[in-house]
Amino acid sequence: MVSYNKKSVEDIDVKGKRVLMRCDFNVPLKDGVIASDKRIKESLRTINYLLDNGAKLILCSHLGRPKNGPEAQFSLKPVAARLSELLGKPVAMADDVVGQSAQALAAGLNEGDVMLLENVRFEKLETKNDPELAKSFAALAEIFVNDAFGSAHRAHCSTAGVAEYLPAVCGYLIQKEIEIMGGALQNPKRPFVAILGGAKVSDKIGVINNLIEKVDTLIIGGGMSYTFLKAQGFAIGDSILEEDKMPLALELVEKAAKKGVKFLLPLDHKIGDGFSNDCNMQVVKRGFIEAGWEGMDIGPETQKLYCDAILGAGTVVWNGPLGVTEFDTFAEGTMAIATAVANSGAVSIIGGGDSAAAIVKLGFAEKMTHISTGGGASLEFLEGLELPGIACLQDK
């Protein structure tokens, strides 16, 4: 059984202690300039709490996917500069991850000081969760705080390995994810409606399987709906299809029926004769997508069916867009669903990744109870899997 009852920064005395905090500073950079500092700002609550309570704070994060050790384009120096501005105090930047520079800076910290290690993935053994490297991280500090939910599904040195050697607790970001998503899965306000979109059934098998055990209604949209429809004998033209997943799709529909779960699939589609915003477009009933055409969004009848299910919900969990939202012509279905979720009055939880981006782009972020900060991590969480970066934290 996955434990969601973890100690947080408020359950541990940090005064005068060197605290290593794993953040998610994996920000988008354009020509060395931060394009969005949202992730940095999201970490400020935990950082400020630790500094206000007298911690000597050592921050660490990955950025991008450097392949060959240190690469200047993946340096966290721009993050240190932006963080200094946001905190109104200097953030000392180490020249390395766990080497002499990091060790010297960590040793010289006073209460309320803050420093940042260089990109943890500059150490090639980071992603291998190498015990010796994990020990080197641990040697810098006396307490470990994980607040990088977006990396909590990875068993890396800086997310899980270091917790073998230090008392480990979560920051406010991970605490919020655990409380809201864990609460929804364990004790949801009913009816519990899950909306799953995205391109592939294979990406969501575990999630569908787990949620069928918990929800009252399961809504399927996006590219993966065509695998379900084709499996039931409907013509899908040139729509995206995972042929090898068709038997599994039928099994999932059958499982839902046995559990008394409403399993909703599109009744009609907005289709295009090419993968672009400017292709020819028409709306057809399900089963009537001809060769040369592909499903790009849910149609108006489906929008009504799905919105009606959402408007009566007590809890809504949503992961994955329902159409090709990068094209405005085919973002209408996702927009309609976002509007319904925003107006439902339900506890609304948006899984990270594309659905979160769509909600922000459409301007509905403020109306949602919670938008997860981790795409892959939130998917695995909804799947009921234990996340290594959370499992390693001390239980209350």
The candidate with the shortest Cα–Cα distance to 40, out of 96, 93, 71, 78, is 78
Active site includes 161?
no
Q: Could you say which architecture CATH assigns to the domain 188-382? A: 3-Layer(aba) Sandwich (3.40)
List the beta strands (DSSP E) in the chain.
18-22, 29-30, 33-34, 56-60, 92-93, 114-116, 143-146, 168-170, 192-196, 217-220, 262-264, 268-272, 281-285, 294-298, 315-319, 347-350, 370-371
Structure confidence at residue 123 (pLDDT): 96
Please write the tens of the pLDDT for every residue from 133-182. Answer: 999 999 999 999 999 998 999 999 999 999 999 999 999 999 998 888 88
pLDDT, position 360:
81
Q: Encoding tokens for residue 256?
A: 């839902």
Residue among 230, 232, 189, 193 nearest 212 (CA): 193
Angle made by CA atoms 95, 96, 99, in degrees to the nearest 5:
120
Q: 17, 143 in Cβ contact below 8 A?
A: yes
Active-site residue, 200 included: yes
- Please confirm, yes or no, whether 7 is among the known catalytic residues: no
Domain 9-175 has CATH 1.10.274.100: no
327 CB-near residues (< 8 Å, 6+ apart): 276, 277, 296
Instruction: Say whether 188-382 and 9-175 share the same fold.
Output: yes
* Cβ contact 319:351 at 8 Å: yes
Q: Domain coordinates of the chain in residue numbers?
A: 9-175, 188-382
Options 64, 112, 376, 384, the catalytic residue: 376
- Residue from 139, 119, 143, 138 nearest 56 by CA: 143
Provide the H-helix boundaries in 114-268: 131-139, 172-177, 183-186, 205-212, 225-231, 246-259
3 state DSSP class of 238:
coil
Catalytic site residue from 7, 45, 135, 200: 200
Per-residue pLDDT, 84: 97
376 noted as active-site residue = yes
Among 150, 237, 299, 353, which one carries the catalytic annotation? 353
Would you give per-residue pLDDT tens digits along the chain (396 residues)?
566 789 999 999 999 999 999 999 999 988 889 998 989 999 999 999 999 999 999 999 999 999 888 999 999 999 999 999 999 999 999 999 999 999 999 999 999 999 999 999 999 999 999 999 999 999 999 999 999 998 999 999 999 999 999 999 999 999 998 888 888 888 899 999 999 998 888 888 888 999 999 999 999 999 999 999 999 999 999 999 999 999 999 999 999 999 999 999 999 999 999 999 999 999 999 999 999 999 999 999 999 999 999 999 999 999 889 999 889 999 999 999 999 999 999 999 998 677 777 788 778 888 899 988 777 788 888 888 889 999 999 999
Burial code (b: 16+ CB inside 10 Å, e: under 16) for 194-230 equals: bbbbbbebebbbebbebbbebbbbbbbbbbbbbbbbb
pLDDT of residue 3: 67
pLDDT in tens, 183-230: 888 889 999 999 999 888 888 888 899 999 999 999 999 999 999 999
Preceding amide of 167 cis, omega within 30: no
Output phi, psi for 270, to 5 deg: -95, 120
Model pLDDT, residue 82: 97
* Catalytic-role residue among 18, 39, 56, 204: 39
Model pLDDT, residue 357 = 76
Instruction: Provide the pLDDT for residue 352.
Output: 64
